[in-house]
């Protein structure tokens, strides 16, 4: 397949193609090296030229052949290989892991209510928002209102949907969910997000996880039991590190216990983030960028979306494996010979405010001029769409780049933020080295 072509690929044909180990080996070689000529590929996979040519012909729908006559994975080829990795990993995951008095096991559909209770335990009050906020009981809220105040796992329906997908062998982004059991009660859980993701340091080849504990059961033994399970899965996946992700509304009490549990491990890297906001009129709108719809170059846009977001770095790349077609809100920004993609997210009740995410090539993270010009172009786009403020979540060391453009530190400004989340804050991620 040439770069400009985007043919439809039947999923059943992909399953048949990937049933051959030689073809999977070829795809993995290209993912590791990026691009290779026929001769380079032949040496790397150790196949005769005739056999390699035959397999490349079979894999045509999953590959791109460049003008330089090099082969690389197409967006569909990359996604298909992720599915293979995930399927293989599922077969190797432990069903149960014990640490002292805590048992960590794979969650079942019967655990949906208990998992939702873990997240809900942190909410002392629930609110409706209709022009003005007023306090209500949980039973007075629908699923959407519960998830807006908490998250997908605060609603039993959300947990059940997630578990149903993983139990049915979903080929989407969902990974196994484990629960921590103490005295026959679910006191916490961990979620493993689809496969290993390989990126430059400090991230490396890592398996991303998130952990939460019940408000009444925030203790070291439970935290260590869940972390040990993460490391066990990381070893089975041959990851360099596991990544413990914390979200912007993460509970400080849980974070403190996780940090205490991590003290017994060496080679823990803490990656910190800053949440920043700015009125669009406070940011220079003059920029050097060309802005087009992301579908203008779908292959490039898909490739960029797979990189960890610079401005929302708390997300793992595996969450960015979006399906075709591209959303119409997504933009492709070109500055000279470099490019990045832009996503804008709007949430109620912040009707005049938008979250801004950029995705660029890993090596472009260090180019201050490129990042600042891309941000200015993004803010200009946000203003054109009627937004008055923009918000980003960026790595701590890049905070100064945004402040130079007019971004300020996040400070709660609404009754909604104060009551529901006590003001938003950025929390770190932790990278743990996986021992052999």
% of the chain with per-residue pLDDT over 90: 41
pLDDT at 321: 47
Exposure letters 24-40 (e unless 16+ CB within 10 A, then b): bebbeebbeeeebeeee
Token couple for 5: 């072509």
Residue with tokens 């928002």: 129
Torsion of CA 119, 120, 124, 126, to 10 degrees: 120
Question: E-assigned strands of 214-348?
Answer: 241-245, 268-271, 273-279, 290-293, 331-335, 338-345
* pLDDT top residue among 424 and 54: 54
Q: Is the pLDDT of residue 169 over 50?
A: no
Question: E-assigned strands of 146-300?
Answer: 177-182, 185-192, 197-199, 204-213, 241-245, 268-271, 273-279, 290-293
Q: How far apart are CA 30 and CA 55, in angstroms?
A: 13
Backbone angles phi, psi at 428, to 5 degrees: -80, 165
Q: Is the pLDDT of residue 377 over 70?
A: yes
Segment 26-54, tens digit of pLDDT: 998 888 888 889 999 988 888 888 999 99
pLDDT at 1: 45
Segment 178-215, tens digit of pLDDT: 999 999 999 999 998 766 777 777 777 888 899 999 99
- Average pLDDT over all residues of the chain: 84
Contact assessment for residue 83 and residue 321, using Cβ atoms and an 8 Å cutoff: no
Whose CA is closest to 181, among 227, 230, 212, 222? 222
Residue with tokens 């080849």: 205
Segment 73-86, tens digit of pLDDT: 887 888 788 777 76
Contact assessment for residue 225 and residue 218, using Cβ atoms and an 8 Å cutoff: no
User: What's the whole-model pTM score?
Assistant: 0.75
Contacts of 8 (CB under 8 A, 6+ apart): none
Q: How far apart are CA 174 and CA 178, in angstroms?
A: 13
- Which of 95-104, 108-117, 209-218, 309-318 is predicted least confidently? 309-318
* pLDDT top residue among 140 and 195: 140
Backbone angles phi, psi at 91, to 5 degrees: -70, -20
Which letter does DSSP use for residue 323 in this model?
Answer: P
Average pLDDT of the residues in 369-376: 96
pLDDT at 325: 44
Which letter does DSSP use for residue 347 in this model?
Answer: -
Average pLDDT of the residues in 415-424: 72
Q: Is the pLDDT of residue 425 over 70?
A: yes
Segment 385-413, tens digit of pLDDT: 899 999 998 989 899 999 999 999 887 77
Contact assessment for residue 387 and residue 280, using Cβ atoms and an 8 Å cutoff: yes
Average pLDDT of the residues in 46-67: 88
Average pLDDT of the residues in 96-125: 92
Segment 296-345, tens digit of pLDDT: 888 788 788 877 888 877 666 555 444 434 555 789 999 999 999 998 88
Domains of the chain: 11-73 (1.10.10.10), 94-265 (3.40.630.30), 275-421 (3.40.630.30)
Backbone angles phi, psi at 101, to 5 degrees: -95, 5
Residue 239: CB atoms within 10 A of its CB come to 25
């Amino acid at each position: 397949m040439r770069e400009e072509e985007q043919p439809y690929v039947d999923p059943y044909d992909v399953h048949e193609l990937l049933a051959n180990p030689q073809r999977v080996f070829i795809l993995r070689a290209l993912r590791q090296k990026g691009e290779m000529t026929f001769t380079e590929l032949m040496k790397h996979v150790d196949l005769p030229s005739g056999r390699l040519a035959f397999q490349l012909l079979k894999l045509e729908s999953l590959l791109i052949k460049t003008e330089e006559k090099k082969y690389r994975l197409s967006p569909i080829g990359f996604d298909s290989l992720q599915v293979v990795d995930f399927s293989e990993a599922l077969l190797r995951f432990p069903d149960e892991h014990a640490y002292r008095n805590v048992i960590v096991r794979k969650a079942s559909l019967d655990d949906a209510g208990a998992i939702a209770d873990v997240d809900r335990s942190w909410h002392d009050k629930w609110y409706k928002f209709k022009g003005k906020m007023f306090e209500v009981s949980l039973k007075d809220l629908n699923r959407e209102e519960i998830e807006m105040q908490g998250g997908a796992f605060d609603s039993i329906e959300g947990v059940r949907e997630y578990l149903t997908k993983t139990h049915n062998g979903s080929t989407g982004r969902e990974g196994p969910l484990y629960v921590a059991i103490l005295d026959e009660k679910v006191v916490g859980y961990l979620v493993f997000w689809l496969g290993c993701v390989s990126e430059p340091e400090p991230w490396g080849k890592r398996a991303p996880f998130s952990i939460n504990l019940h408000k009444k059961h925030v203790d070291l033994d439970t935290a260590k039991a869940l972390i040990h399970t993460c490391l066990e899965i990381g070893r089975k996946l041959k990851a360099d590190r596991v990544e413990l992700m914390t979200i912007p509304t993460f509970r400080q009490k849980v974070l403190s216990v996780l940090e205490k549990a991590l003290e017994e491990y060496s080679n823990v890297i803490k990656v910190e983030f800053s949440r920043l906001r700015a009125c669009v009129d406070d940011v220079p709108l003059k920029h050097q960028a060309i802005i087009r719809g992301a579908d203008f170059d779908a292959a490039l846009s898909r490739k960029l979306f797979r990189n960890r977001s610079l401005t929302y770095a708390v997300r793992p790349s595996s969450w960015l494996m979006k399906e075709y077609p591209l959303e119409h809100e997504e933009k492709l920004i070109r500055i000279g010979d470099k490019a990045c993609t832009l996503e804008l997210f709007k949430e109620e009740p912040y009707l005049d405010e938008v979250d801004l995410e950029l995705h660029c090539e890993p090596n472009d993270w260090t180019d201050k001029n490129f990042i600042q010009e891309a941000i200015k172009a993004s803010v200009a786009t946000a203003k054109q769409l009627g937004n008055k403020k923009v918000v980003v979540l960026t790595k701590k060391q890049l905070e100064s780049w945004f402040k130079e453009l007019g971004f300020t530190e996040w400070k709660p400004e609404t009754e909604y933020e104060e009551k529901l989340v006590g003001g938003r804050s950025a929390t770190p991620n932790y990278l743990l080295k996986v021992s052999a």
